[in-house]
């Protein structure tokens, strides 16, 4: 026995919303609030499916939506979050106030994906395209990070130039150099993603939490493994003394040899991190 349909399809409008429908939906939600989407269309006098109303409200009519082009910072954040979370658009959207999952998804598919490809990065794996199929090890983790940094730099230059009317040369997407504007982009060496992610084990104190925040912020420059709390483990590829101290203190209950199969902590989403390589697709829910 199949599920009953979410709404009566025969008597509902489909396709683009009219101004009148928008007004009805907005005024109804303003006076009654967001509630039962199934019954809302009838109550609001709309010949629409509840799902359609919800989508229209969330993606287009909500007053707190930020319209307009994505900023460079939003661009960077989306790329970084996607490298961590994959196609979890709703999670990504929670980190971009005023942006919806649908908007980010569309933006990704129409803009970011193409830019990554142009920069030689596989948009799915966030790794260099020519190495996308090779097995991952610590040196490649570092290369991936380097590629990401290079791409972000490239992306910024491209966006600046495009905004000043630079021409793109043929299908290869090459930039034609013009004398007019030369931007010197000083790219910070570290990825400046400040998610306030707390991947460290829950027993750790506030001081450590503050340090973790620092590390994910601009102040520290660490390898990927260290930023994910795996410092000095086999994934660690930097010689950051701070990483080594951190690793030895946070892993006092287990040896470095067994960390790969241990629960190393919980991230901000409540995902249990239990492998040496941060892989959200296989992490269990806490």
Beta pairing, strands 271-273 & 265-266: antiparallel
List the interface residues with DNA, window 34-73 (CB under 7 A). 35-38, 49-52, 54-56, 59-60
Of the listed pieces 109-117, 243-251, 253-261, 273-281, which binds DNA according to CB under 7 A? 109-117
Helix (H/G/I), strand (E/B), else coil: 264: coil
Q: How far is CA 39 from CA 10, 35, 47, 61, 201, in A?
A: 16, 9, 11, 19, 44
Helix (H/G/I), strand (E/B), else coil: 175: strand
Nearer to DNA, 114 or 209 (CB): 114
Residues near 158 by beta carbon (within 8 Å), at least 6 away in sequence: 115, 118, 175
Residue 183's region, left for phi above 0, alpha for psi from -120 to 50, else beta, is beta
| Helix, strand, coil share of the chain (percent; to 5) | 45, 5, 50
- Minimum distance of DNA from residue 285's CB (angstroms): 7
Of the listed pieces 102-110, 147-155, 249-257, 260-268, which binds DNA according to CB under 7 A? 102-110
**Residue in 26, 102, 118, 221 binding DNA, rule: CB under 7 A:** 102
118 binds DNA (CB under 7 A): no
**Residue carrying the six token digits 């319209």:** 67
Nearer to DNA, 93 or 238 (CB): 93
Give the integer Cα–Cα distance in Å for 233 and 216.
18
CA-wise closest residue to 265 among 282, 283, 281: 283
87 binds DNA (CB under 7 A): yes
User: E strands of 125-230, at which residues?
Assistant: 168-169, 174-175
Whether the Cβ atoms of residue 247 and residue 200 lie closer than 8 Å to each other: no
**Residue in 90, 163, 261, 286 binding DNA, rule: CB under 7 A:** 90
**Residue in 28, 107, 215, 247 binding DNA, rule: CB under 7 A:** 107
- Minimum distance of DNA from residue 254's CB (angstroms): 29
186 binds DNA (CB under 7 A): no
17 binds DNA (CB under 7 A): yes
**Residue in 27, 71, 109, 261 binding DNA, rule: CB under 7 A:** 109
Of the listed pieces 8-16, 130-138, 201-209, 229-237, which binds DNA according to CB under 7 A? 8-16
Q: Token pair for residue 267?
A: 């991230």
213 binds DNA (CB under 7 A): no
13 binds DNA (CB under 7 A): yes
- Minimum distance of DNA from residue 153's CB (angstroms): 21
Whether the Cβ atoms of residue 85 and residue 193 lie closer than 8 Å to each other: no
CA-wise closest residue to 244 among 222, 272, 260: 222
Nearer to DNA, 162 or 210 (CB): 162
- Minimum distance of DNA from residue 14's CB (angstroms): 4
The residue ranges that bind DNA (CB under 7 A) are: 1, 3-4, 6, 9, 13-17, 35-38, 49-52, 54-56, 59-60, 87-91, 101-103, 105-107, 109-111, 114, 285
């Amino acid at each position: 026995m199949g599920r009953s349909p979410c709404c009566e399809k025969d008597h509902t409008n489909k396709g683009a919303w009219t101004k009148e429908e928008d007004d009805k939906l907005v005024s109804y939600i303003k006076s009654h609030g967001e509630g039962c989407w199934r019954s809302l269309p009838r109550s609001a006098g709309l010949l629409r499916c509840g799902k359609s109303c919800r989508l229209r409200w969330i993606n287009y009519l909500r007053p707190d939506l930020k319209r307009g082009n994505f900023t460079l910072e939003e661009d960077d954040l989306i790329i970084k979050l996607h490298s961590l979370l994959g196609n979890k658009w709703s999670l990504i959207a929670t980190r971009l106030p005023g942006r919806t999952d649908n908007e980010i998804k569309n933006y990704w598919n129409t803009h970011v994906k193409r830019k990554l490809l142009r920069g030689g990065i596989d948009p799915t794996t966030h790794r260099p395209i020519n190495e996308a199929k090779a097995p991952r090890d610590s040196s490649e983790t570092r290369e991936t990070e380097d590629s990401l940094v290079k791409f972000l730099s490239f992306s910024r230059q491209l966006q600046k130039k495009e905004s000043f009317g630079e021409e793109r040369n043929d299908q290869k997407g090459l930039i034609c150099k013009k004398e007019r504007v030369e931007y010197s982009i000083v790219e910070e060496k570290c990825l400046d993603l400040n998610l306030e992610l707390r991947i460290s084990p829950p027993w750790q104190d506030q001081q450590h939490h503050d340090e973790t925040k620092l590390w994910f912020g601009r102040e520290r420059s660490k390898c990927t493994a260290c930023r994910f709390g795996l410092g000095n483990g086999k994934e660690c590829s930097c010689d950051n003394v701070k990483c080594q101290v951190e690793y030895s203190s946070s892993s006092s209950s287990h040896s470095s040899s067994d960390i790969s199969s241990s629960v190393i902590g919980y991230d901000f989403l409540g995902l249990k991190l239990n492998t040496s390589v941060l892989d959200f697709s296989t992490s269990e829910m806490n």
